[in-house]
Amino acid sequence: MEYTSLLLFPFLLVLLFAGFPVAFAMMATAFVFGTWTFGWNFVFQVSEKIEDVASNFVLAAVPLFVFMGTMMERSGIANRLFEAIHLWTRRLPGGLAVGTVIMCIIFAASSGVVGATETVIGLLAIPVMMRYHYNKELIVGTICAGGSLGTIIPPSVVVVIMGPLANVSVGDLLVGMIFPGLIMAGAYIVYILVLCFLRPEMGPRIPPGDDDPPLSEKLRVTAVALVPPLCMIFAVLGSIMMGWAAPTEAAALGAAGSVLLTIFYRTFTFAVLHEAIMKTLLISTMIMAIILGGSMMTGAFVGAGGIAVAQELVNSMALGPWGLLGIVLFLAFIAGFFLDWISIVLILVPIFGPLLASQGIDMVWFCIALLIVIQTSYLSPPMAPAIFYFRAISPPEITTGHMYRGVVPFIGLQVVTLAIVLAFPGVVLWLPKMLLTPG
């Protein structure tokens, strides 16, 4: 009977490929295998799962971070950041692309919502880079890879969901992802600079013009564009790193800060607030429904003896910690071709997390490594949500071929970042230990 639990995942994949929404596919799978194992008593387990999800205070950060991101779309910050950053970078090789990545870093740290970052910045950057004849594949790669940095640069909705599943502190994850996120973003910038230095036609420098502002004006524009969002970033991340606030409380500070930013930039209206609230409600209910479906499915799998079966298989293969870690990350990479990030997290973390922990793997380190692999799923076809976001805002002269070829070098850079994190665990673990460990 226990080995029948392994049929759960093929059954789920069949439903997903048949076009069922992720949440309903997970719930249906849970009901089929749960009633098979427990009979109608599974209904009582479902009610417990609903209560567990509804009462998990950590998940309260999800709608708060989503609201922060939706308000940031309306605050006018992207327009001002675009102008301020490119004042300093446009003379560099590939300067517009470099400035776009820097803007993605700041915007990701201000919102944590990938779709919002890529869409807003893409609408600003694509026309300018096209005007200066940037290589179309470089345009696609820069915006898709930079826009998806919201997964690996805190605050991130992904880690709010991943933390409770892996039984680790969300604060540790948010702090631990800072260096890997900056390493990945730095790799993007170095790649663009080297590429455009060696091949100037890929990203031409913008020549000096008569309308170039003086240094004092550059500093003024930069201060107006950067200081307010940096204050909000400190309110969210700084309060966690200093131990002043829990992640949920920090998310509330960020949500309040995003409203204050719209007031500061004079873009606040009740229509904007209403639109942000409704969009937050839509996205949050979708995420919570998927979390509930994943929780139900995990309960059915565990109840059917799936964990014991998985442990038996792992022991029989004598993989060791590194072998098991490699298989889990490889499965996540392959799953990224077909599944979205939340499905990958909800399937792999509850199943393999206990097995990895039993092998002595640090779960914070594993979660950050998994986040980097999930980052590749944004760019890996056929799913590639970053490409779908880009296609919705791109001009017709940028083809699907440009899109798929453009993201390949950046997937390689993500793999390099993963190799650094796996080779040097201190990249992830040192900062949480310094800042968040008592004493």
- The predicted-structure confidence for 303-341, as pLDDT tens digits, reads as follows 777 667 766 776 777 778 888 899 889 888 887 777 777
pTM over 0.95: no
Q: Distance (Å, rounded) from C-alpha 345 to C-alpha 342?
A: 5
- The predicted-structure confidence for 182-201, as pLDDT tens digits, reads as follows 999 999 999 999 999 999 99
């692999």: which residue's tokens? Answer: 373
Q: Is the pLDDT reported for residue 113 higher than 70?
A: no
- The predicted-structure confidence for 5-58, as pLDDT tens digits, reads as follows 667 778 887 887 787 787 888 888 888 887 877 777 777 777 777 777 777 777
* Percentage of the residues of the chain whose pLDDT score is greater than 90: 18
- CB contact burial 270-286 (16+ within 10 A = b; e otherwise): eebbeebeebbeebbee
For the chain, which residues make up each domain, given as ranges?
Answer: 56-268+305-436
What is the predicted pLDDT for the residue at 112? 61
Nearest to 257 by CA among 111, 370, 386, 371: 111
Which residues lie closer than 8 Å to 329 by C-beta, 6 or more apart? 369, 370, 373, 418
- The predicted-structure confidence for 207-236, as pLDDT tens digits, reads as follows 776 667 787 888 888 888 888 888 888 888
Helices (H), 112-214: 114-131, 136-147, 157-166, 170-176, 178-198
What is the predicted pLDDT for the residue at 59? 79
Tokens representing residue 170 in the block: 């969300």
What is the predicted pLDDT for the residue at 1? 45
Nearest to 143 by CA among 169, 125, 155, 157: 125
Q: Distance (Å, rounded) from C-alpha 217 to C-alpha 88?
A: 12
Instruction: Work out the pLDDT band at 420, boundaries 50, 70, 90.
Output: very high
